[in-house]
Structure 1
């Protein structure tokens, strides 16, 4: 039998009187009481109210969760030898549901139910996601460190009720700063941008800003191309370190693309090419003039003055285009005009652009450090807009909605937001009476010329370059407008406004680098039936796609066969 002294020595060495490690004995004793934080993330645009019921030991922490915010709503006690239940009823403008937590001693199970649906009990720490009520919202939940009390988090994410794609008089525009600027501190760019195509699907036009990180941004643009094949180019000014990071991406073809680079800037932001990109888009015969910009940020005097000067340049540029008064003009982007803190600057923006902001139906901020994980404190701002012109065709209806693109995917769990900005959605309805579409061969409308083996004629860079028949997809570079000449021949105008013309009469080579409508740019159109044509150049030869497509294009054929036949496709 051990003496008292030996017992003390043994304890100091970490052994019990029976020879077992004391630490092991302590670890083997299960806790008799645990406290678990219950957290609810409200990823909807309406506040959620909570009511509690049940016989559990708990402390209520919150009975309302503001839109897009998270709250610890209760601390749930889990006591050995006691079974209990805590029911939380959540209600909002869009739904009602109940979240149930059951304890059996310190063990915890959790589940949810609503009108016409209920879920099984769970007790693990995986992420579980469900889309009840025909996908009106997503419910996701996950336990963390539950064996030590830990946290149980529920996420209620509202389904995005996108506006319906409609006829020529309807235009839906999504303006989104995607925060792809690693050099300025953007986080998880690859992961966030991979999730954006689903958020961006279903619109007529996208205006994207901060499209700087080349690899993930190009991957995003490629992923969007199937739905939005018409994508503007980038603008860059010699002497700058960065391009503009601004893009117009469209479901509908560009008839014209242009840009203006701002002269005004201040400080470090002069490293980027600030400007406005312009695209005249043709939706089913109705033209829309889209202007996209990203102006100088920050609200000190120097930056405000630079931003105001940029807005003045934008307004002057739009006015120089002399757009017809009966055609619609939309301006969108990250204007960096904070109408919350500086409402007079919003008024200035509307005045110099001769524009109007539609009524906002969504969140009251587009940059919200209280609810957006990535937004920098303490900024609570409204910076992103979709505006319409007051001096051009007026919309019959116009609304703007600040929405919060979010995801419960594993890589963004706890962070949620796809960008540090929320997105602005503009929904416009214009009078389209009298809009009609031209009969074949679709004169004065955008067309694509498809070769015999399925390739498309392309003007490299959209114009001011050479022509080929080697493209395997349609887009802005493959877009042309057939225009008539007074002599009955046709002209083939590339996206940037240059005309396709003979570069060499002898060789029949072609370039789209001509603003002259002279004989070299004129073609005789020969209808071939079934929506197909041939084009005879001024050298007396027909345009030919080498090898039926996938290679060069020249005016070198004396007769018309399959290589000289092109299908006209109108978007």
Structure 2
């Protein structure tokens, strides 16, 4: 009995968490019965970071029959978290809500564990209590509502994403396979890599087809390998041609799959786009790095064999597994071999593999953060403007609550604009 009571008293607080799913630092402050707050963290929550910000005492300093209001303010223009504690003999009963700190209106408080949502200005909020074994924790998510995407006939938006559907390695695959599509639906073309696990393939394709009616065949060497290539392309525009190439060079566990490059030609309006979706070797010892660059040379020869008109846009993307920060010489050599240009990067995120932010992988230090995924354009003057942004597909579904991230990689989105000369030549 003593041990149970000690455990109860030792855990007599509600932990509060924030997922700041925006591009900006979030300045937080605490209010109400300030003496009930403890273990307060930094006053800023980093962009896209899931952070424990403080604990709210549920037993000591609480009077039976008394009510305590406590607040977590998320800056001056955002909604705030309000937690109401009602004291009783055993501690407190808790309810919670979101409110506008500039308003005098106090809305309904919740005491359940459902996910609640609110929209305020440019932001959408999700919040819920979660069972911990003693007192519930409370988590609030804030994300910016995406801007509406306008369709420009001269532009093409592409997203590349390693979706981590790999047996015995990927996590939560039977949940993630049905949630990915809705988070990336606003792109025009999507490249997937690591769609290896056959148990999940049907759900991925079924949900993606709701938004992308044109689907390539999956990269597959057709032999008796453990895995096929795991590479597939989805498009909102007709795919009129497809070819594939499986690498001749590999080493170690990479040889268990048919890694390679998948070529598709799509037509948007009457603009042809030549797309190459690839997945290169994974490992970073000297032997594997050299083999990976040999694979890049194989991709270059494959593209040359396609006899693509030299004035038409060619875009190469996927999981290159080439860390541009750790191995800049490999990255530069890859660009030289493929004769490609990297679009300018905007936004706060610079890594596509980032254990510091991604809840699916363990952070072991700055060296574990890296850029591995790219969308690049062949330098032939057909594309005059391009930019890219690292995006984090996340789900706030109840089955992903507290996990959020839909892969161990982040996605890379890029937009490409064809030149007026090329566009006009198609209309003559």
* TM-score, structure 1 normalization: 0.66
Give 3-state SS (helix, strand or coil) of 2:194's partner: strand
Alignment equivalent of 2:69, drawn from 67, 85, 97: 85
Q: What are the Cα deviations for residues 88-135 of structure 1, in whole angstroms up to 9, with x where unaligned? A: 22139xx6222222333223332212389877343424132314136x
Higher relative contact order (CA 8 A, sep 6+): 2
Distance 1:123 1:281, change over 3 A: closer
- CA–CA separation in structure 2 for the residues paired with 1:283 and 1:145: 49
1:405 aligns with 2:387: no
Contact 2:94 2:111 in 1 (8 A): no
- CA–CA separation in structure 2 for the residues paired with 1:32 and 1:332: 52
Q: Which residue of 2 aligns with 1:334?
A: 319
- CA–CA separation in structure 1 for the residues paired with 2:255 and 2:233: 22
Alignment equivalent of 2:246, drawn from 261, 273, 278: 261
1:428 aligns with 2:416: yes
Q: What are the Cα deviations for residues 153-208 of structure 1, in whole angstroms up to 9, with x where unaligned? A: 212233344643321x110001011111124x111112101011211212221111
Q: What are the Cα deviations for residues 199-232 of structure 1, in whole angstroms up to 9, with x where unaligned? A: 1212221111111112321222123224322221
Unmatched 5+ stretches in structure 2 = none
Alignment equivalent of 1:129, drawn from 113, 116, 128: 116
- CA–CA separation in structure 1 for the residues paired with 2:404 and 2:11: 32
State the Cα distance separating 1:87 from its structure 2 match: 2.2
Q: Which residue of 2 aligns with 1:228?
A: 212
Distance 1:196 1:435, change over 3 A: farther
State the Cα distance separating 1:366 from its structure 2 match: 0.8
Indicate the RMSD between aligned Cα atoms, in angstroms. 2.8
Distance 1:49 1:304, change over 3 A: same
Alignment equivalent of 2:278, drawn from 293, 296, 301: 293
1:141 aligns with 2:121: no
Distance 1:153 1:180, change over 3 A: same
Give 3-state SS (helix, strand or coil) of 2:73's partner: strand
State the Cα distance separating 1:280 from its structure 2 match: 1.3
State the Cα distance separating 1:435 from its structure 2 match: 5.7
Distance 1:64 1:392, change over 3 A: same
- CA–CA separation in structure 2 for the residues paired with 1:243 and 1:348: 28
Q: Which moved more, 1:221-230 or 1:138-147?
A: 138-147
- CA–CA separation in structure 1 for the residues paired with 2:307 and 2:180: 36
1:165 aligns with 2:154: no
Q: Which residue of 1 aligns with 2:402?
A: 414
| Number of equivalences | 407
1:204 aligns with 2:188: yes
* TM-score, structure 2 normalization: 0.87
Contact 2:392 2:410 in 1 (8 A): yes
Q: What are the Cα deviations for residues 407-439 of structure 1, in whole angstroms up to 9, with x where unaligned? A: 11111111111111111101111135326579x
- CA–CA separation in structure 2 for the residues paired with 1:284 and 1:116: 49
Contact 1:165 1:172 in 2 (8 A): no
Q: Which residue of 2 aligns with 1:98?
A: 80
Q: Which residue of 1 aligns with 2:354?
A: 368
Give 3-state SS (helix, strand or coil) of 1:252's partner: coil
1:50 aligns with 2:14: no
Give 3-state SS (helix, strand or coil) of 2:111's partner: coil
Q: Which residue of 2 aligns with 1:527?
A: none
Unmatched 5+ stretches in structure 1 = 1-22, 439-571
Q: Which has the larger Rg?
A: 1
